[in-house]
């Protein structure tokens, strides 16, 4: 009988804790925001940032690409395997570039400010890897270049900046 009483008491306490009048809920509910910032779309960059496989290969200078992946969010060029030297392009619509920059810094790649054709961005480099992000309104694109364990054919940020400049030149 004690168990039944304990269960009933526990259920009653739970219901009482979750209960309340509708006016209580209305008093504590946050007001819906009536002022939304307008989304400022950037330009169209085309598939893979409008950069051809041959142009990526020429800039990167490391072995032939064994695999090229293209999808709705970007492209990746890989020389050997997933952990080998590679180049990737991503295009983010309505996403803050600051989050990408902060992520780079959190994992030990200090970011510095850059601008390409007047568009703000960042460059983050550590060893054989470089990331370049360039903002356009509420959008940004991102190039990542890594030589992994291979000796870089060129400084990775030189490659990333070259590809980013071509992408900016070809925006639509």
Is 14 within the bounds of a domain? Answer: no
Is 12 domain-assigned?
no
SS3 assignment, position 86: strand
61: left (phi over 0), alpha (psi -120 to 50) or beta: left
Burial class (CB in 10 A: 0-12, 13-18, 19+), 64: exposed
* Residue 37, pLDDT score: 74
**CA trace torsion 83, 46, 109, 125 (10° rounding):** 80
Structural domain range at position 103: 47-169
Residue 13's pLDDT is 42
Q: Rounded CA gap, 165 and 51, in Å?
A: 11
Q: d(Cα 79, Cα 61) in Å, to the nearest integer?
A: 11
CATH number at residue 105: 3.40.1000
Residue 13 in any domain: the answer is no
> For residue 66, what are the CA distances in angstroms to 29, 103, 120, 156?
55, 29, 33, 19
Q: Is residue 29 part of a domain?
A: no
150 assigned to some structural domain: yes
What is the number of residues in the chain? 172
Residue 11 lies in a domain: no
Q: Coil, strand, or helix at residue 144?
A: strand
Q: In the chain, how many domains are there?
A: 1
Cα–Cα distance measured from residue 10 to residue 16, given in angstroms and rounded to the nearest whole number: 10
Grouping H, G, I as helix, E, B as strand and the rest as coil, residue 50 is helix
Would you state the pLDDT for residue 105?
Answer: 95
Question: Minimal CA–CA distance to 140: which of 157, 120, 159, 169?
Answer: 120
What is the mean pLDDT, run by run of 10 residues, along the chain of 172 residues?
A: 41 43 51 66 93 96 89 90 87 93 95 98 96 96 95 96 98 93
Residue 21 lies in a domain: no
- The answer to whether residue 148 sits within a structural domain is yes
Sequential DSSP letters for 55-67: HHHHHH-SS--SE
């Amino acid at each position: 009988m004690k168990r039944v009483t304990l269960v009933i008491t526990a259920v009653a306490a739970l219901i009482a804790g979750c209960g309340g009048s509708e006016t209580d809920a209305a008093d504590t509910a946050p007001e819906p925001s009536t002022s939304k910032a307008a989304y400022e779309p950037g330009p169209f960059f085309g598939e893979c940032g409008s950069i051809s496989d041959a142009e990526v290969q020429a800039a990167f200078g490391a072995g032939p690409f064994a695999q090229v992946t293209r999808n709705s969010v970007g492209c990746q060029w890989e020389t050997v395997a997933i952990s080998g030297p590679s180049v990737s392009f991503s295009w983010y619509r309505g996403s803050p570039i600051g989050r990408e920059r902060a992520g780079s810094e959190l994992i030990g790649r200090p970011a510095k400010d850059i601008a390409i054709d007047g568009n703000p961005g960042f460059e983050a480099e550590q060893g054989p890897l470089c990331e370049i992000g360039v903002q356009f309104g509420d959008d940004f694109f991102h190039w990542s270049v890594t030589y992994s364990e291979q000796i870089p054919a060129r400084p990775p940020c030189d490659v990333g900046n070259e590809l980013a400049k071509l992408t900016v030149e070809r925006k639509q």
